[in-house]
Amino acid sequence: MRDISVCHCVECRRWSGYLGAFSATKAENIVVAGDALRWAVSPDSDRHFRRGFCGQCGSSVLLQSPDSEYLSVAVGTLDRPTGLRIAGHWYSHHAGDWDDVPDDGLPRDDELARSERRWT
Ligand SMILES: [Zn+2]
């Protein structure tokens, strides 16, 4: 699992109620049990993401780009300990006016895109 990308974009804010926080792994590493997973197209996504959620409890679970072999996993759904760290902030310029993106020294946006810790 990759380290965590925190996303401040409008869609992640609306989807999660606060922020998107995703790890990622190759889709082949994900096994979905049962039939509760539902998908919704992310209508304003410039990368045509779709978002997976639990049809029983409504939890946000997955995020997928059709152009990627990776599947992003909402880290709030993972059991502890995950061993993951936050890699950086995406779309910090889209942050809500209540969201003071922390000055935590982690890469943001373009800087993160150029790093090894890429968004999938
Ligand atoms: Zn986002």
Q: How far is the CA of 28 from the centre of ligand 1 (A)?
A: 23
- Residue 8 pLDDT > 80, yes or no? yes
- Which domains are seen in the chain, by residue range? 4-113 (3.90.1590.10)
- Residue 106 pLDDT > 70, yes or no? yes
Give the residue-averaged pLDDT of 13-34: 93
Is there a contact between 39 and 50 (Cβ–Cβ < 8 Å)?
A: yes
Cα separation of 40 and 33, whole Å?
A: 19
**What percent of the chain has pLDDT above 90?**
67
Q: How far is the CA of 91 from the centre of ligand 1 (A)?
A: 7
Cα separation of 70 and 92, whole Å?
A: 23
Per-residue burial over 40-75, b = 16 or more CB atoms within 10 Å of its CB, e = otherwise: eebeeeeeebebbbeeeeeebbbbbbeebebbbbbb
Give the residue-averaged pLDDT of 38-65: 90
Q: How far is the CA of 95 from the centre of ligand 1 (A)?
A: 10
- Name the band, by pLDDT with cuts 50, 70 and 90, for residue 120: very low
Other beta carbons within 10 angstroms of residue 85's beta carbon come to 10
Q: How far is the CA of 83 from the centre of ligand 1 (A)?
A: 22
Cα separation of 36 and 42, whole Å?
A: 19
> pTM of the full predicted structure?
0.86
**Three-class DSSP category at 21:** strand
**Three-class DSSP category at 76:** helix
